[in-house]
Amino acid sequence: MLFVCVQMVVMALMYREGYRKRVGYFLGIFRKGGTPAAIAQGNLTHPGDVYANLSLIVKPAMREEDLPFCPEKSPLINGPFRVTFPPMLTMAEVEQKNPFVRAGGRYKPPDCQSTHRTAIIIPHRNREQHLKYLLYFLHPFLQRQQLNYGIYIIHQAGNYTFNRAKLLNVGFKEAMKDEDWSCMFYHDVDLIPEDDRNLYTCDKYPKHASIAMDKFGYKLPYKTYFGGVSALTPEQYMKMNGFPNNYWGWGGEDDDIAIRFNMLAKTRRTWKQDGMNTMEYEVLSKEFRPLYTNITVDIGSEKGFHPKT
């Protein structure tokens, strides 16, 4: 009896809630700009242009150190945005649309001081189209969040098998030489964020950011999935000895990373012998391009690291 009563109360409450929402929705239709809820959450039904409102940012005539701190929640955040791919897009157009981005793909909000310093590390080889569209979305996405940020492309030299995790290790080490980043985002080149409430800042624990992807039906493919986009503070990263260097080719490295910071690490000892402490590589070039810092690196092969110089 008690169970049935509780269930009826719950159903009554749910019904009331739904009713209120329906009434609110119909009233909202006639209100310019949508319902208050839609405004608060971003426009969920009509995602807007990711560049909307960014033209409103102006640099006040004062010294950088006199700027106020950015608010805890950026007023530019608006929820989901439209992800469609403008045909014939050029890098020059992406540059034009991001006038505040400085050489090396660096940005600071011009009108406030941000306390977040996020580096985005993107492993790369022969994915120029993906990269162009990622930059087209990522720059305004990060600006909407009022972050200090820098974008690093870690380009694997040569034709040997790709090694995503080792490139991420290189990215970490090289980016930390530039600035005292407080957060690192490890980012696949072929993933585009769709909602600016997915904050590219670090938390108390390592964070998995690509928890809902279109190709997986906006669900995790499996519970411990840590691939795609993940975030760690430099302290968290060093504590787990970075990422493994020994996963050549597709797959597995993200699962290894996932295991490094949960209790299963007890059953696996390899993380101490393979990571930041054993990484060998040689930077062949570092260029500060308009939209990103390009680091070309020789990471050797499965047979080891034999630098040419």
Interaction site with ligand NGS (CB under 6 A): 221, 227, 251-252, 254-255
Question: Which helix (H) or strand (E) element contains residue 207?
Answer: strand 207-208
Measured from the Cβ of residue 305, the count of other Cβ atoms closer than 10 Å reads 14
C-alpha to C-alpha distance for 250 and 151, rounded to whole angstroms:
23
Report in angstroms how near the CB of residue 309 gets to ligand NGS at its nearest. 33
For ligand NGS, the closer of residues 51 and 225 by Cβ is 225
Q: Which of 171, 184, 86 lies closest to 129, judged by CA?
A: 86
Place of tokens 């390009």: 294
For ligand NGS, the closer of residues 33 and 217 by Cβ is 217
Report in angstroms how near the CB of residue 213 gets to ligand NGS at its nearest. 8
Report in angstroms how near the CB of residue 162 gets to ligand NGS at its nearest. 13
For ligand NGS, the closer of residues 75 and 221 by Cβ is 221
Report in angstroms how near the CB of residue 75 gets to ligand NGS at its nearest. 35
Residue nearest to ligand NGS as judged by C-beta position: 251
For ligand NGS, the closer of residues 188 and 196 by Cβ is 188
Measured from the Cβ of residue 33, the count of other Cβ atoms closer than 10 Å reads 9
User: What's phi and psi for 165, nearest 5 deg?
Assistant: -70, -35
Report in angstroms how near the CB of residue 292 gets to ligand NGS at its nearest. 23
Q: How far apart are the first and last CA of the chain?
A: 81
For ligand NGS, the closer of residues 101 and 229 by Cβ is 229
Report in angstroms how near the CB of residue 155 gets to ligand NGS at its nearest. 21
For ligand NGS, the closer of residues 215 and 308 by Cβ is 215
C-alpha to C-alpha distance for 229 and 121, rounded to whole angstroms:
10
C-alpha to C-alpha distance for 300 and 303, rounded to whole angstroms:
8
For ligand NGS, the closer of residues 229 and 297 by Cβ is 229
Q: Which of 292, 276, 269, 266 lies closest to 238, judged by CA?
A: 276
Report in angstroms how near the CB of residue 206 gets to ligand NGS at its nearest. 16
Structure tokens at 307: 């630098």
Structure tokens at 6: 């509780």
